[in-house]
Amino acid sequence: MKNQKIEGVMYKSIGEFCIYVIKFTKYTKAIGECMLKIDNLKKTFNKKIALDGINLNVKKGEVFGFIGRNGAGKSTTIKSVLGFVFPDSGEMFFKDEPLDQSKFRESIGYLPEIAKFPEKLTAKEFLTYSYSFYKKITGATRDKISQLLEDVGLKESKNKLINTFSKGMKQRLGIAQSVIHDPELLILDEPFTGLDPVGKDGLKKILIDQNKEGKTIFFSSHNLTEVQDICSVICTLHNGKVVYQGATSDFIKEQSSNSLEEAFIKSYSRSGGKDV
Amino acid sequence: MYSVIKYSIIENLRSKFYLASIGMILFIIWLSHYSSQINYNYGNYTLSILTLGMYFTKLILFAFIIFLPVSNLSQEIETGTIYFLLSKKLKRYKYLAAKYITYMILYAALLFFAVFSLWLLTYVFVSKRPEMSLKLLYFMYSEFLSGMMILSIVFFIYTAIKAQVVTSILTAITYFISIMLNSAKEIAEKAQDASVRCFYLFLYYIFPNFSYFNLEKNIVYGRAVDIKYFFMMFCYAAIFSLILFIISAVFFNSREL
C-alpha cells in the first residue's frame, strides 16, 4: 500500500517534470524561432538588378528595421514576400517552412507604402471589411473594432469617410487594419513616410505596444531616427544587396558613429555609394 | 469574396460616377420622349418612344459597363488599394470574380432603373399599352446577357494589356465588329478571293456575335420570342463569359503588381 503511494507520487513528479521540460524547450525554442527567412532572393526588372541575392532572417519577437536608400530594393523584397512580385530565384520560409502564401497571409498584417484604402468607406466600415477576410463578424468583433479605433486615436472619426482623413489618420487606420486579426508578423512598408513629428511619435508608440503584445515587426524605412528608437535588429540594403544584418547598436559601433543616420551614411559611402 | 462584393457596391454607390449614370438614364428617357415628338416615324407614339429609349439606354449602359470597371480596376492597381486587398486571405481569381459580380449587380440595377423609367413613360404616363410591359422584360434580359459578355471582354483585355484607355477603345472596337458579324459572313460567302473569305470567316468565328441579343424589333412590334431562343442566348453568353473570365484570371494570376 505504502509502495503504491510512493510510486504514485513518483509518477506524478516525473509527469510534472516532463511537462516542465516540454514547456522549457518550447520557450527556449520560441526565443530564437525564425519567423521569416529569405535565402538568396534575386529579381531583375528589364535587365536592371533590383535584388541581388538577398538573405534575411527575422526572428520571433524582434522589431526588425529594413533600411536603405530609395530604390535599394526594400519594397521589391516586401512585395516578393507577399507574392505581388515574382522573384527570379531564391527561397522564402515562414516559421521554418517554405512560404505558402495562403497560410502566410493568415498570419501577417501588412501596411503598404502608400496607404490607399477604399476612400468611400468609413473607418469603421473599413475595419469591418478588413476583419471579414479572416473571421465572421459578430457582436464581439464590433466591440473589438471600437476598441482598436480607440487605441489608434480614431474613435471620434469612426463614421467619417476615409477620403476626409489626414495622412497621419490614414496611417493609423492602416496600422489598425493590419493588426485587426491579431497576426504574428507585421510587415510595414515605410510607415513613417509623410508623417509630422507628432504623428511619427504616435505611430512609434503603437508599434512598441504591438511588439510588447508579442508581435514580430518587420518594417522598411528611411526615417533612421525612428528605426534607431524602436528597432533591436536592422538590415541595411545597398544596390539590392544586404550590407549588414545584426543589432542596431553594433552597427553604430562598427561604423564609429553616434547615430544610425551617421552610421548608415558612412556605410553607404564605404560600399561604393552607387545609385541603383 | 462576399465582403469584397458588398463593400465594392457600397463604394460605387457613393461615387459620383454611379449617380451621374442614373442622371444620364433620366436624361435619355426624357430625350427619347422629346425626340419621339420630333421624329414621329412609327405612326405610334409609344413605339417611337420605345425605339429611341432602348437605343439611348443601350448607349449609356454600354459606356457604363466599359468605363466603370476599367477606371475602377486601374485605379485600385495604380493607387495601391489592391495591395491592401491581396495581402489579406483573398486569392486573385476570387478578387476578380468578386469585382465581376459587383459590376454586374450595379449594371443590372442601372438596367432595371432604365427599363422601369421607360415603362413608366410608355405605359403609365403617355399611352397605356399593357403588352409593352412584358416585352420590355425581353430588353432587360438581352441587355443583361450582352452586358455580361462585354464585361468579360473588358476583363480579358484589361488583364492582358494593363492599359486603361486602350482597353476601352479595344472593347468598343470588338463590340462594333461583333454586331456586324452577320454582314461579315455574307461578305465571306460572296467573296471570290480566298484570303478575303478567310479573313471574314475568321472574324465571324473568333468574335462573339452580339446580333443574337438584338431583340428590339420583336419588342417594338410585339413579336413573341421562343423560350428555346432565350435559353440559347443564356448558354451562349454564359459559356463565352466563363471562358473569357478563366483566361482573364490566368492572366491576372501571372501578373506582377
CA angle at residue B160 from B155 to B165, to 5 degrees?
70
pLDDT of residue B55: 84
Last residue of a domain, one of A182, A197, A232: A182
In a domain, B164, yes or no: yes
For residue B102, give the nearest of B172, B166, B11 by alpha carbon: B11
Kind of pairing, strands A241-247 and A233-238? antiparallel
In chain A, whose CA is at the least distance from the CA of B254? A86
Task: Test B3 with A84 for CB contact under 8 angstroms.
Answer: no
In a domain, B90, yes or no: yes
Q: B20 falls in which pLDDT band (50, 70, 90)?
A: confident
A164: DSSP letter: G
Q: Give pLDDT < 50 ranges for chain A.
A: 1, 26-31, 274-276
Task: Test A105 with B89 for CB contact under 8 angstroms.
Answer: yes
pLDDT of residue B43: 58
Tell me if chain A has a CB within 8 Å of the CB of B227: no
Task: Test B79 with A114 for CB contact under 8 angstroms.
Answer: yes
**Residue A105: which of B11, B79, B87 has the nearest Cβ?**
B87
For residue A75, give the nearest of B101, B120, B256 by alpha carbon: B256
pLDDT of residue A193: 78
CATH number at residue A212: 3.40.50.300
In a domain, B115, yes or no: yes
Which helix (DSSP H) or strand (DSSP E) does residue A31 occupy?
A: helix A2-31
**Cell numbers 530604390 correspond to what residue?**
A71
Q: B36 falls in which pLDDT band (50, 70, 90)?
A: confident
pLDDT of residue A29: 46
Same domain, A64 and A124: no
**Residue B88: which of A105, A116, A125 has the nearest Cβ?**
A105
For residue B67, give the nearest of B147, B165, B176, B159 by alpha carbon: B165
Residue B114, φ and ψ in degrees, nearest 5: -65, -45
Q: What is the pLDDT of residues B124-172, one digit of tens each?
A: 666 666 666 677 888 889 999 999 999 999 899 888 887 778 888 888 8
pTM: 0.82
Task: Test B11 with A121 for CB contact under 8 angstroms.
Answer: yes
Same domain, A67 and A80: yes
In angstroms, the separation between the Cα of residue A81 and the nearest Cα of chain B is 10
Same domain, A203 and A268: yes
* DSSP characters over B198-252: HHHHHHHHHS--GGGG--HHHHHTT----HHHHHHHHHHHHHHHHHHHHHHHHHH
Tell me if chain A has a CB within 8 Å of the CB of B17: no
Kind of pairing, strands A108-111 and A241-247? unpaired
Which candidate in B4, B15, B72, B89 is best for mutational testing of the A interface (most A CBs within 10 A)? B89
* DSSP characters over B153-177: HHHHHHHHH--HHHHHHHHHHHHHH
Structural domain including A79 reads 38-107+183-276
In a domain, B108, yes or no: yes
On chain A, the residues whose CB falls within 8 A of the CB of B74 are none
On chain B, the residues whose CB falls within 8 A of the CB of A121 are 7, 10-11
Same domain, A96 and A178: no
Same domain, A192 and A103: yes
In a domain, B78, yes or no: yes
- Total Cβ atoms within 10 A of residue B192: 6
In angstroms, the separation between the Cα of residue A147 and the nearest Cα of chain B is 21
Task: Test A130 with B14 for CB contact under 8 angstroms.
Answer: no
Task: Test B89 with A106 for CB contact under 8 angstroms.
Answer: yes
In a domain, B209, yes or no: no
Which candidate in A88, A117, A133 is best for mutational testing of the B interface (most B CBs within 10 A)? A133
Task: Test A116 with B10 for CB contact under 8 angstroms.
Answer: no
**Residue B3: which of A83, A112, A132 has the nearest Cβ?**
A132
Same domain, A206 and A276: yes
Q: Which range among B41-50, B175-184, B242-251 shows the weakest confidence by mean pLDDT?
A: B41-50
Are the C-beta atoms of B120 and B33 separated by less than 8 Å? Answer: no
Q: What is the pLDDT of residues B204-247, one digit of tens each?
A: 888 888 888 888 777 777 777 888 988 999 999 999 999 999 99
Are the C-beta atoms of A188 and A220 separated by less than 8 Å? Answer: yes
Same domain, A190 and A178: no
Same domain, A247 and A122: no
Q: What is the pLDDT of residues A125-135, one digit of tens each?
A: 999 998 888 88
Over range B39-45, report the average pLDDT: 61
Q: What is the pLDDT of residues B162-174, one digit of tens each?
A: 777 888 888 888 8
In angstroms, the separation between the Cα of residue B84 and the nearest Cα of chain A is 7
Task: Test B81 with A117 for CB contact under 8 angstroms.
Answer: yes
C-alpha cell at A42: 534575386
* DSSP characters over A47-98: TEEEEEEEEEEEETT-EEEEEE-TTSSHHHHHHHHHTSS--SEEEEEETTEE
Tell me if chain A has a CB within 8 Å of the CB of B86: yes
- Interface size A-B, in CB pairs within 8 Å, comes to 64
pLDDT of residue B189: 83
Same domain, A45 and A140: no
Structural domain including B79 reads 2-179+214-254
- When divided into structural domains, chain A yields a total of 3
Same domain, A193 and A176: no
Task: Test B88 with A86 for CB contact under 8 angstroms.
Answer: no
Same domain, A147 and A268: no
